[in-house]
Amino acid sequence: MFSGIVEEMGVVKSFEPGLAGARLSILARAILKDLQLGESVSVSGACLTVSDVGETDFSVDVSVETVSVTTLGTFSAGAAVNLERALKLNDRMGGHLVTGHVDGTGILRERTQEGNTILLTVEVPDPILRYCIPKGSITVDGVSLTVNSVLENGVSVAIIPHTAKVTTLGIKQPGDAVNLESDLIGKYVERLLQHSGKLPEKAAPVIDRDYLQKHGLT
């Protein structure tokens, strides 16, 4: 479990794809202190398990599923990533409850400056947008953000100077893909209401060529 408060930006050292997934190595500094094998680290919003720790870097194995539903499959050496270690029970909760289980990807459509704040408009797929509410929370590339407004096909969020400085959101440009995780509480509430018969069950997705292409499976 994470809070969406990024600890540092790391840099991809290498990304090695394979038939059974991929291996990702990341250069880091702050989070390497006492980092142990088997720990969970949020890498731009995706919860991954540490498989190797070096003096200046660490490695994780990325499953085929994670590659298909996140932006990790597009990573290459030199790419910047947001890093956060798992929460401790005695930590302050500065953001919101984040699992690191990415729901899907979105596209940054607009970036404007308003005073000292960067306003981002992010295109969000309908299955994720359904959980977004004004002043609610959304995780974008592992960063906990407040939804300023919900649009027809996305959301707008504000990036303060500190967040722009210490995360990749400060350098993202229109057209860039981002990992998205909707608020965990909303998903549980919906499921409980469905189970009690107060909401209809979500229709199962139609597995056709368009679906496979969208999820990078063709």
pLDDT in tens, 36-61: 999 999 999 999 999 999 999 999 99
Angle at 171 between CA 165 and CA 175, to 5 degrees: 150
218 found inside a domain: no
177 found inside a domain: yes
215 found inside a domain: no
**183 & 110 share domain:** yes
**18 & 69 share domain:** yes
**79 & 132 share domain:** no
CB 77 within 8 A of CB 32: no
What phi, psi does 41 have (nearest 5°)?
Answer: -130, 135
Return d(Cα 163, Cα 5) in angstroms, integer: 9
Which range (100-109, 183-192, 208-217) has the least confidence?
208-217
pLDDT band at 178; cut points 50, 70, 90: very high
Indicate whether 196 pLDDT > 90.
Answer: no
Indicate whether 85 pLDDT > 80.
Answer: yes
pLDDT band at 204; cut points 50, 70, 90: low
132 found inside a domain: yes
Residue 46: give the domain boundaries: 8-85
**69 & 33 share domain:** yes
The pLDDT value given to residue 189? 85
**128 & 179 share domain:** yes
Q: To the nearest whole percent, how much of the chain has pLDDT over 70?
A: 90
Where residue 152 falls (left for φ over 0; alpha for ψ -120 to 50; beta otherwise) is alpha
Between 101 and 210, name the one with better pLDDT: 101
How many CB atoms within 10 Å of residue 40? Answer: 17
116 found inside a domain: yes
**110 & 167 share domain:** yes
Which tens digit of pLDDT belongs to each residue from 108-167? 999 999 999 999 999 999 999 999 999 999 999 999 999 999 999 999 999 999 999 999
97 found inside a domain: no
CB 123 within 8 A of CB 106: yes
Domain count, the chain: 2
214 found inside a domain: no
Residue 178: which of 88, 97, 69, 62 has the closest Cα?
A: 69
188, two tokens: 């549980």
**80 & 113 share domain:** no
Across the chain, mean pLDDT equals 90
Longest CA pairwise span in the chain (Å): 54
Scanning 24-100, the segments in alpha helix (DSSP H) are 64-69
What 3-state DSSP class applies to 66? helix
**126 & 70 share domain:** no
Which one-letter DSSP state was computed for residue 116? T
**19 & 78 share domain:** yes
Indicate whether 212 pLDDT > 60.
Answer: no
How many CB atoms within 10 Å of residue 27? Answer: 17
What phi, psi does 151 have (nearest 5°)?
Answer: -100, 180
212 found inside a domain: no
**117 & 44 share domain:** no
User: Could you tell me the CATH number of the domain that includes residue 27?
Assistant: 2.40.30.20
Count CA atoms within 13 Å of residue 96 on its CB side: 18
The pLDDT value given to residue 191? 80
What predicted TM-score, i.e. pTM, was given to this entire model?
0.86
Return d(Cα 153, Cα 108) in angstroms, integer: 12
Residue 156: which of 99, 112, 103, 116 has the closest Cα?
A: 112
